[in-house]
Amino acid sequence: MPTRPERGMDHDLYSFTPISTRGHIQAQGARKVYFYILLYLEYWAIERAPDVYSDPRFATEYGSYFPEFRTWSYREYGNRVGIYRILKLFDQADIKPAVPINALIPRVHPELIDQIKKRGWEIIAHGLSANRMITSQMETEEERSEIFTSRDLLTAAFGYRPRGWLGQDFGGTNKTSAILAEAGFTYTLDWANDELPYRQSGSNGLYAVPAFPDFDDVEALWLRRVPLARFTSLISEAVNRLEHEQAWGRVLGLGVHPWVFGASHRIKYLSAILDSLKANPKVEIVTPGNVVDHLDERTINSGCFKTVADF
């Protein structure tokens, strides 16, 4: 039988703290909205193992046929064509995204790893492949192996360990945060429950940086079928709302998949979004790692960033 819930959370990962009780994080007192961009590099297996769980929203996209060459080839378009349009666009705009990477990408597309290396962009562990989603159907050791193996393969490819984690399709369990902390990760992007980053007290200090599926191109454009022009305006409306509220220090993020925004008929909309963000003096384009560094006690104590108490 259901029990009477207590005030706050139904778990012990973090305490319930309304945003009205927390202060802004500001850079030298600057009035800024922080905006990060994720550029995904994903590996889609043609055939998945029978014990692998995928996001069910993709299972019926074109039917449940395996192997699904039509679906797979469209994803592969992103790694063959779309990614190069997007790399050129970011270079021209002088914008540095963070890059969630499936750990099998270095083996399958080492040329894409070289592109990220030479630009020095922040990397984020993103599971093994786009067909493998962490869920509660996994045993704890299976989940731990998925996370540690993803970390180790990216570490071998780049020569340093990724600080951040983003579960494939935002998948996770009640044990994920603790395993991430055990694996040495600093932050996770799996939680969309806030507009300010926070520390998960039950996870050995792991930071949760807000990530919003609403502003992910696959979620919005592919699955929800939001019109391109409308999606562009939604981002502007969100930024404008935070400015109107003077909600400085709040965090927004955009998810970019090369097989979606890298298409010839969509790239101009991504360009318009970047132009709008860069033209706004109240927006600072950062990475999730930058956000965590702003929160780090050593950084705050050094005087580079400060916590503003009044909300």
What does the pLDDT look like over 157-177, one tens digit per residue?
999 999 999 998 888 888 889
> Residue 294: which pLDDT band, with cuts at 50, 70 and 90?
confident
Amino acid 257 reads H
The pair phi, psi for residue 33, each rounded to 5°, is -105, 130
Asked whether residue 128 carries a pLDDT value surpassing 70, the answer given is: yes
Give the separation between CA 26 and CA 24, rounded to whole angstroms.
6
The CA–CA distances, whole Å, from 113 to 107, 131, 149 equal 9, 20, 17
Give the range with max mean pLDDT: 72-76, 131-135, 239-243.
239-243
Q: Is 100 in a helix, a strand, or coil?
A: strand
Q: Is 287 exposed, middle or buried (0-12, 13-18, 19+ CB in 10 A)?
A: buried
Is the pTM here over 0.85, yes or no? yes
The pair phi, psi for residue 36, each rounded to 5°, is -115, 160
Nearest in space to 183 (alpha carbons), one of 207, 158, 209, 150 = 150
Residue 135 or residue 152, greater confidence? 152
The CA–CA distances, whole Å, from 115 to 41, 69, 112, 127 equal 11, 27, 5, 20
